[in-house]
Amino acid sequence: MRIRSLLAPAVLGAAALITASLVGAPTAVGGGSTIVASDFSFTPSKTTVAQGTSVSWSFQGNHSTTSNQDFWDSGEGTTPFSEEMPSAGKFPYHCTVHAGMNGSIAVRILATGSPGSGWTLRWAASRAETGRAFDVQYRRAGTTTWQTFRTDITAATGFFNRTRSGTYQLRARTTNTAATPDKESGWSPILSREIS
C-alpha cells in the first residue's frame, strides 16, 4: 500500500509532462501538418515543418490561406486546402476574408556530414521549380554579419566547409521569381554546425 501511494505522484507527474509536451507541440516532422481556420484565427498560428511536408488547412466557415509572397492561394471558401512545403524559409500567410487573421510556416535547412569533413546543406527537397530560387547565408558564431553562401540559385544542395574552424550558423530562404517584383520568404530557422 505504501509503495502505491509513493508511486502515484511520480506517475501523475510523468503523465502531465507527456500531455503538456504533446499539446503544446505545433511541429510536424515528415508526413503532414493540419492547421484549422476557425472564427478569426489559425490554430496553430505558427508551425515548423520538415522540407517536403504537406500542410493542410481545414476551414470552419468561409476562410482562405493566402501566402504573403504569392507562393499559394486557396481562394475563399470552406473546402480544405493543402500545400507542399518543399524548401527552407519562413512563409507568412493570411486570410483574405478576415483582416488580422495571420499565420506562418517555418521550414528548416538540413545538414549531413561532420565537423572534420564538412556539411552537405539541403535547403530544398529538390531542384527549384520554374518561378523559384534560393538564397543561403552563413555567419561565424560571435559575429553579426551574414555572408552569402549561395544566391538566386535553383540547386537544392551545396557543400559547406569553411577553412576557419568554429561554429557556423546557416539559414536559407525561397524567392518567388514569378512575382513582379520578386518576393522572398523570410529566413528559415537558424541551423548551427561545427567546422574543425
Give pLDDT tens digits for 38-94: 999 999 999 999 999 999 999 999 999 999 999 999 999 999 999 999 999 999 999
User: Comparing 31 with 73, which gets the higher pLDDT?
Assistant: 73
Query: Which has the closest alpha carbon to 193: 124, 123, 114, 117?
Result: 114
**Model pLDDT, residue 11:** 37
Residue 28 has pLDDT above 50, yes or no: no
**Which is higher by pLDDT, 33 or 191?**
191
CB atoms within 10 A of CB 22: 8
**Confidence (pLDDT) at 177:** 96
What is the pLDDT confidence band of residue 142, given thresholds at 50, 70 and 90? very high
pTM of the model: 0.81
Q: What digits encode the pLDDT tens for the residues 172-189? A: 999 999 998 999 999 999
pLDDT-derived band at 18, boundaries 50, 70, 90: very low
Mean pLDDT of the chain: 87
- What's the mean pLDDT in 95-110? 96
